[in-house]
Amino acid sequence: MTLTTGTGADSGAATGAYAPRPGAAPLSRMIAAQAALETKMLLRNGEQLLLTVVIPTLLLVLFSAVDIVDTGAGKAVDFLTPGVLALAVMSTAFTGQAIATGFERRYGVLKRLAASPLPRWALMTAKTASVLVTEVLQVVLLTVIAFALGWSPHGDPLAVLLLLVLGTAAFSGLGLLMAGTLKAEATLAAANLVFLLLLVGGGVIVPLDKFPSGAQDVLGLLPISALSDGLRDVLQHGAGMPWGDLGILAGWAVVALAAAGRFFRWE
Amino acid sequence: MRSEPVVEVQALVKRYGTKTAVDGLDLVARAGVTAVLGPNGAGKTTTVETCEGYRKPDSGTVRVLGLDPVRQSAALRPRIGVMLQSGGVYSGARADEMLRHVARLHAHPLDVDALIERLGLGGCGRTSYRRLSGGQQQRLALAMAVVGRPELVFLDEPTAGLDPQARRATWDLVRDLRADGVSVILTTHYMEEAEQLADDVVIVDAGRVVVQGSPEQLCRGGAENTLRFTGRPGLDVASLLKALPADSSAAELTPGSYRVVGKVDPQLLATVTSWCAQHGVMPDRISVERHTLEDVFLELTGKELRS
C-alpha cells in the first residue's frame, strides 16, 4: 500500500481540484445507476442465487422427473411450472429483498444513501427495478427449462403478466416491511422460515387440496397461494382473468406497501 | 474569509427516550475547518447527524448552508458530503465500484481514479468491502464524502483507528479541501488533529458547547502557563516576583529548582532572564511549558474517564 502524502501547497491548492461544484445527477441516471448496482450485488451473492435460481430450478427439474407428489391429472411439469414461477417471484421480491435490505440497513448503506442526492423514493424505485430485472432472468431460465421438460402452457400472457406484477408488489411490500422493522439477523431467519413454510403450504409443489378443507380456506388467502393458483388457472387450464386471485394479491400489495411506508425505519 | 456561517445551531435539544443527548447547544461554524471535540457521549455525533438531516431536533433550530436539513433536505444533500463513523457501503461491493457509484449520483464528480490513487485505495483491487482493513474502509468513506465536490463536508471521527501514514494522508486531504474553499466540520478525539487542522475548535461536553475558538485562543485562554529553570539554591524569589507582572507567581520548589506561573510570553521570558543576569545567576535548563489543547480539554471536561 502506498499513500500519496502530497502537501497541501502543491497538490490541491494550485489546481483547485476540490473546488466545490455541487449538484445532483439527473434522476434517471441516479435510478439507473442504483438499480444496476443493486442487481450486481444480488447476482454476486451466492446465498441469494441459491434462493432465487438454484432452488426453483431444482424443484422444477426434480419434481417433474420423479413422481414424489401427486400433482393431479395431466403432466407434472404443467402443474409445477406455474408454482415454481410463483416461488421465483417470492424468492426475489420477498426473501431476497428482505434479507438484502435488512443488511443494508444494518450496515448503514441506507443511511449513507439517504445523505446522497438520491431521493428515498428513487432508491425504492431502483430496488423495484432490480427485483424486476432479476425476475425476468428467472422467468426466462425457468421457462426454457420447463419447455425442455415438455411444458405446454395455455392462456392469456397479459393475465400472467398482471399476476406477476401484483405478486411482486405484494411480496416487495412484505419484504420491505420485514427488513425495515426487524433486526437484520431476525429478518434473515424469518424470511427464510417464511420462504420454507410458503413453499410447502402455498400450493407451489403441493396442491392445496391435499390439505384439510378448513386449512385450505386460510391457505388460499396467502399471497403465494393466490399467485400460484392464479398462474396455474391461466397457464395449466387456460382460464380467463383470475379476478379472485388478482384481488387477493392487490389487497396484500396495498396493505403491505402502506405498512412498509408507514413503519420502515432507515437505520 | 470567516464570513457567512456554514452551520448555525441554536438551542438544539435532542433526546433519546429519557436520555438527553444534546441539551441546548449553540454553535456557529464558518468557512474553513471546524473541529468538534468532546468526550464519548458528549453529543458530537448527534449534533452532526442533526446537521446532516438524520435527526429531527426536539427543539431549537439548525441551518446548514442556510437550509433546514430536514425540510429542505433535497436541496441540501447534493451540496454536502457525509462520512459516517462506520459502514455505509454494500458488504459485497468493491471500493472502486462503490466510489464510482456515489460519483454517478453527482453532476460534477471528482476524477475517481485520481481520488483512489490519492487515498491509497488502488491496492484494494477486487476485494469486497467487508474484507477491507479498517483503515481502507475509513479512507473509502472519506473518498465517498468528497467525490461529489460538495461545499461542506461532515467527517465523523475520520482518523479513528488509522495508522500514522493514513492519518497524515487524511489530514493532507482536509488541508487541500480547505485551500480549495470546501468547509469541513469534523469530530475527533485527537487533540493533535484539532490543533493541526482546525480554524475553529468547539469543545462539547454533556450536550452543550463548553468553549469555542481558534486553537491559539483556547490555549491562551486556558490555565496559566509555566516557566521552569534551575539555578543556585536560595535565590531571592521575592525580588524576582517584584520584577514579574502582577498576576504571576514564583517559587523555589526544591533547592535550586524554580517555577514561575503566569502569562508566559516573550516579555516574561526576557524579564526572568534579565533578572537572572542582574543577580549573576545562570538559569540552567530553562523551559517553557505551554498549555496544549489537551490540557484545556481536560480542564474543561474533567480529567476522570467516563463510560
Using an 8 Å CB-CB cutoff, list chain B residues near A4.
Answer: 117-120, 169
Cβ contacts of B62 within 8 Å, gap of 6 or more:
B7, B8, B9, B10, B12, B50, B51, B68, B69
**A169 within a domain of the structure (yes/no):** yes
Contact: B117, A4; criterion CB under 8 Å: yes
What are the E-state strand segments in chain B?
A: 5-16, 19-30, 33-37, 59-64, 80-83, 152-156, 183-188, 200-205, 208-213, 225-230, 249-254, 257-262, 284-289
Contact: A22, B87; criterion CB under 8 Å: no
Q: Which of B105, B138, B177 to mutate to test the interface with A (most CBs of A within 10 A)?
A: B105
How many domains does chain A fold into? 1
From first to last of its 267 residues, chain A has per-residue pLDDT tens of: 444 444 434 443 445 899 999 999 999 999 999 999 999 999 999 999 999 999 999 999 999 888 777 777 788 899 999 999 999 999 999 999 999 999 999 999 999 999 999 999 999 999 999 999 999 999 999 999 999 999 999 999 999 999 999 999 999 999 999 999 999 999 999 999 999 999 999 989 888 888 998 899 899 999 999 999 999 999 999 999 999 999 999 999 999 999 999 999 988
Instruction: Mark B192-222 as b/e (b = at least 16 C-beta within 10 Å).
Output: ebbbbbbbbbbbbbbbbbbbbeebeebbeeb
To 10 degrees, what angle do helices A157-181 and A76-89 make? 40
Contact: A3, B169; criterion CB under 8 Å: yes
Contact: B54, A114; criterion CB under 8 Å: yes
Q: What are phi and psi of B212, to 5 degrees?
A: -140, 140
Residue B218 near residue B187 (C-beta atoms within 8 A): no
The pLDDT value given to residue B303: 55
Span B44-76, pLDDT tens digits? 999 999 999 999 999 999 999 999 999 999 999
Q: What are phi and psi of B63, to 5 degrees?
A: -130, 130
Chain A contacts to B (CB-CB under 8 A): 1-8, 11-13, 16-25, 29-30, 33-34, 37, 40-41, 44-45, 103-104, 107-109, 111-112, 114-119, 267
Contact: B120, A33; criterion CB under 8 Å: no
Residue A249 to residue A204: CA distance in whole angstroms: 16
Span B75-106, pLDDT tens digits? 999 999 999 999 999 999 999 999 999 999 99
Residue B79 to residue B153: CA distance in whole angstroms: 9
B1, pLDDT greater than 70:
no
What residue segments make up the domains of chain B, in order of their start? 5-220, 224-290
Nearest to A108 among B88, B105, B150 (CB): B88
Residue B103 to residue B147: CA distance in whole angstroms: 6
**A153 within a domain of the structure (yes/no):** yes
Cβ-Cβ contacts under 8 Å between A and B: the total is 154
Least reliable range by pLDDT among A108-112, B108-112, B261-265, B292-296: B292-296
Residue B276 to residue B288: CA distance in whole angstroms: 16
Residue B245 near residue B258 (C-beta atoms within 8 A): no
**Stated pTM of the model:** 0.84
The pLDDT value given to residue A4: 46
Contact: A2, B101; criterion CB under 8 Å: no
Task: Please state the rounded mean pLDDT for residues B170-175.
Answer: 96
The single-letter DSSP state of residue B303 is S
The pLDDT value given to residue A15: 56
Contact: B144, A8; criterion CB under 8 Å: no
Residue B151 to residue B35: CA distance in whole angstroms: 17
Contact: B101, A118; criterion CB under 8 Å: no
Cβ contacts of A138 within 8 Å, gap of 6 or more:
A52, A53, A56, A88, A89, A91, A92
Using an 8 Å CB-CB cutoff, list chain A residues near B54.
Answer: 111, 114-115, 267
C-alpha to C-alpha distances, A60 to A76, A235, B195, B250, nearest whole angstrom: 9, 15, 66, 92
Nearest to A117 among B78, B146, B176 (CB): B78
Nearest to A1 among B84, B92, B120 (CB): B120
Q: Kindly report the CA angle at A169 between A166 and A172, in degrees rounded to 5? A: 145
Please give the span between the terminal C-alpha atoms of chain B, in angstroms, as a whole number: 39
Was domain B5-220 assigned CATH 3.90.960.10? no
Sheet with B225-230, edge to edge strand ranges? B249-254, B257-262, B225-230, B284-289
**A32 within a domain of the structure (yes/no):** yes
Cell of A150: 415438455
Q: Which chain B residue is nearest to residue A115, measuring alpha carbons?
A: B77
Using an 8 Å CB-CB cutoff, list chain A residues near B84.
Answer: 108, 111-112
Q: Strand B33-37 and strand B208-213: pairing?
A: unpaired
**A108 within a domain of the structure (yes/no):** yes
Q: What is the CA radius of gyration of chain B?
A: 24
B2, pLDDT greater than 90:
no
Contact: A117, B106; criterion CB under 8 Å: yes
Q: What are phi and psi of B253, to 5 degrees?
A: -75, -50
Residue A151 near residue A235 (C-beta atoms within 8 A): no
Three-state secondary-structure class, residue B165 = helix
Cβ contacts of B145 within 8 Å, gap of 6 or more:
B81, B82, B83, B153, B154, B155
Alpha helices of B231-291 — where are they, by DSSP H?
237-243, 266-278
CATH code, B224-290: 3.30.70.1560
User: Model confidence at B138, in pLDDT bands (50, 70, 90)?
Assistant: very high
Cell of A197: 413454510
The single-letter DSSP state of residue B128 is B
Residue A178 near residue A103 (C-beta atoms within 8 A): no
Residue A267 near residue A108 (C-beta atoms within 8 A): yes
Can you give the length of chain B in residues? 307
Cell of A16: 483547485
Strand partners, B227: B260, B288
Task: Please state the rounded mean pLDDT for residues B214-237.
Answer: 80
Q: Which chain B residue is nearest to residue A31, measuring alpha carbons?
A: B105
Residue A90 to residue A202: CA distance in whole angstroms: 11
Query: Which structural domain, as residue segments, surrounds residue A239?
Result: 27-263
Contact: B172, A19; criterion CB under 8 Å: no
Residue by residue, DSSP assigns chain A as -------TTTTTTTTTTT-----BPPHHHHHHHHHHHHHHHHHH-HHHHIIIIIHHHHHHHHHHHS--S---SS-HHHHHHHHHHHHHHIIIIIIIHHHHHHHHHHTTHHHHHHTSSS-HHHHHHHHHHHHHHHHHHHHHHHHHHHHHTT----S-HHHHHHHHHHHHHHHHHHHHHHHHHS-HHHHHHHHHHHHHHHHHHTTSSS-GGGS-HHHHHHHTTSHHHHHHHHHHHHHTT--S--HHHHHHHHHHHHHHHHHHHHH----
